[in-house]
Amino acid sequence: MAKSIEELGEFGLIDHLTKDIKLFHKSTVKGVGDDAAVLNYGKNLLVVTTDLLVEGVHFDLVYTPLKHLGYKAVAVNLSDVYAMNAHPKQITVSLAISGKFSLDAVEEIYAGIRLACDRYQVDLVGGDTTSSFTGMTISITAVGEVEKKKVVYRSGAKEKNLICVSGDLGGAYMGVQVLKREKQVFKDAPEVQPELDNYQYVLGRQLKPEPRRDVIELLERLEVQPTAMIDISDGLSSELFHICQKSDMGCLIYEEKIPIHKDTITAAEEMNIHPVTAALDGGEDYEMLFTVPLNDLDKVKDVDGLSIIGYITDKSEGVRMQTKQGELVDLKALGWKSFDIDEKSK
């Protein structure tokens, strides 16, 4: 019996739909299967990526400011470009909106888009607008550039490579949990004002993520060439599986090495969520997960904002984590699923 879309999930559906695609042009260096496509049109390589944000699935306008939404829509695309060790240059923006949105609302979205373009020095060069019967959809395509010798794929991890991550994890997931909780409180008691003062860090991680251009620039200054890289959009576990699957390797990470901000820990404990679960399965942190040769240990081990959380192993050892108690556990790719019916109904 054929599987349903829900059973396949986002990445299973992509694999199912693209497994028989034939590439016709030598200029297509990398097609489906990474953070961005890679095209060869001269001295350097072009990278191209696109993301779709759908109201009610990816964002809730009850608690998402429109300016933040425009900024985030750009940021998540730029993050994919940086994950190829490339630098974004241009974007196009396509927007579908229903009649409930005023001109002022659309201007707010574009104010956020322009702010992101200014911050990351990216040109807005085109796009499309159309009407919608069901709310808002934003689609952004980003184009970047990278030297041929510097491009990084998910598939380059080697045994004994160090696994590194930038920043801290789990904050964005806890931010959306706070917003969902306060939305429910408002529905039950509209006169009650939301209590958000103690959650500014996790709310910022959710509503206004920053793509890690600085990590790409830092690695270049350190003269470190990652062997594999991906941005953390679907949770640490899922991204580790992507790298291991594409590289045909396994890995071992250490629970005690996973970087988690103190405010994330506080918010998680309040909601009876294990902070490590938020980091492993939450997603939308848009930090960089990458592997480097063991020979680069001295270059990265003491760098502020970078954490070495484990290493690449033989495929036979699977994708595992050593807990703080010393127990080895198999990780599962439980990150956010686009086609999860329960998730969409929240």
SS3 call for 280: helix
How sure is the predictor about 25, in pLDDT bands with cuts at 50, 70 and 90? low
With cut-offs at 50, 70 and 90, classify the pLDDT of residue 99: confident
254 pLDDT higher than 90: yes
Which pLDDT does position 194 carry in this prediction? 74
Helix, strand, or coil (residue 237): helix
Q: What is the residue-wise DSSP string for 255-266?
A: GGGS---HHHHH
Average pLDDT, stretch 22-46? Answer: 70
Q: Which two tokens stand for residue 163?
A: 């696994």
Provide DSSP, 44-102: EEEEEEEEEEEBTTTB-TTT--HHHHHHHHHHHHHHHHHTTT-EEEEEEEEEEE-TT--
What is the identity of the amino acid at 306?
L
Pairing relationship of beta strands 250-254 and 319-322 according to DSSP bridges: parallel
Query: What predicted TM-score, i.e. pTM, was given to this entire model?
Result: 0.86
Q: What is the pLDDT of residues 138-178, one digit of tens each?
A: 999 999 999 999 999 999 999 999 999 999 999 999 999 99
Greater model confidence, 54 or 292: 292
Average pLDDT score over the chain: 88
Q: Which residues contact 5 (CB under 8 A, 6 or more apart)?
A: 13, 339
Can you say whether the dihedral through the CA atoms of 262, 268, 274, 279 is positive or negative? negative
Q: Report the half-sphere exposure of 161 (CA within 13 A, side-chain side).
A: 26
**Is the predicted pLDDT of residue 137 greater than 70, yes or no?**
yes
Q: List pLDDT tens digits, range 255-304.
A: 999 999 999 999 999 999 999 999 999 989 999 999 999 999 999 999 99
Q: How far is CA 323 from CA 65, 131, 278, 290, 333, in A?
A: 38, 50, 15, 21, 17
**Token output for 311:** 């290493």
Counting residues of the chain whose pLDDT is more than 90, the rounded percentage is: 68
So what's the pLDDT on residue 339? 38
Q: What is the mean pLDDT of residues 224-253?
A: 96
Least trusted range by pLDDT, from 65-74, 308-317, 327-336: 327-336
Instruction: Pick the closest to residue 258 from 273, 238, 237 (CA basis).
Output: 237
**Structural domain boundaries of the chain?**
5-147, 154-344
**Stretch 204-227: mean pLDDT:** 96
Residues 90, 125 contacting (CB under 8 angstroms):
yes
C-alpha dihedral over 293, 298, 303, 308, to 10 degrees?
50
Number of other residues whose CB lies within 10 A of the CB of residue 219: 26
Q: How far is CA 203 from CA 105, 199, 331, in A?
A: 21, 6, 27
Superfamily for domain range 5-147: PurM-like, N-terminal domain (3.30.1330.10)
Q: Provide DSSP, 207-219.
A: HS----HHHHHHH
102-106, 111-115, 187-191, 279-283: segment of lowest average pLDDT = 187-191
Q: Among 322, 318, 300, 295, which residue's Cα sits nearest to residue 310?
A: 322
| pLDDT for residue 191 is more than 90 | no
CATH 3.50.40.10 assigned to domain 154-344? The reply is no
For 63, which DSSP code? T
